[in-house]
């Protein structure tokens, strides 16, 4: 019986960009040493991505919530209760 398994190759650069901790970055750096066939340009990309990711992990961006929109009509007047005194 043969089972089809979907294989999604993930590049070292993608793995560096999505790692969740500094320990993961260290493990990937050790793994990258084993890639002897990688060009100097590729290694520089990995180094730069690692440095960028370290900064992101050290200073996470706060989650921003969208500001509530003011309720206005097309002319810029506030919608809501009318001030007619009928």
User: How many domains are there within the chain?
Assistant: 1
Please state, in angstroms and rounded to a whole number, the distance separating the CA atoms of residues 47 and 61.
Answer: 22
Q: Please say whether the beta carbons of 28 and 64 come within 8 A.
A: no
- What confidence tens digit (pLDDT) does each residue in 23-81 have? 999 999 999 999 999 999 999 999 999 999 999 999 888 777 777 776 777 776 766 66
In a domain, 54, yes or no: yes
Q: What is the rounded distance in angstroms from the CA atom of residue 32 to the CA atom of residue 29?
A: 5
- The reported pTM is 0.61
| pLDDT given for residue 4 in this prediction | 67
Question: How confident is residue 83, by pLDDT bands cut at 50, 70 and 90?
Answer: low
Q: Residue 20 belongs to what domain range?
A: 12-58
- Is 14 a residue whose pLDDT tops 60? yes
In a domain, 84, yes or no: no
Q: For residue 4, tell me if it sits in a domain.
A: no
* In a domain? residue 34: yes
Are the CB atoms for 10 and 16 separated by under 8 Å? no
Cβ-Cβ contacts under 8 Å for 71 (sequence gap 6 or more): 78, 79, 80
């Amino acid at each position: 019986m043969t089972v089809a398994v979907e294989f999604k190759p993930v590049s070292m650069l993608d793995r560096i960009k999505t790692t969740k901790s500094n320990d993961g970055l260290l493990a990937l750096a050790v793994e990258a040493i084993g890639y002897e066939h990688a060009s100097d340009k590729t290694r520089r990309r990995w180094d730069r991505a690692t440095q960028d990711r370290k900064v992101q992990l050290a200073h996470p961006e706060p989650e921003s919530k969208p500001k509530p929109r003011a309720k206005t009509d097309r002319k810029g007047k506030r919608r809501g209760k009318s001030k007619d005194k009928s």
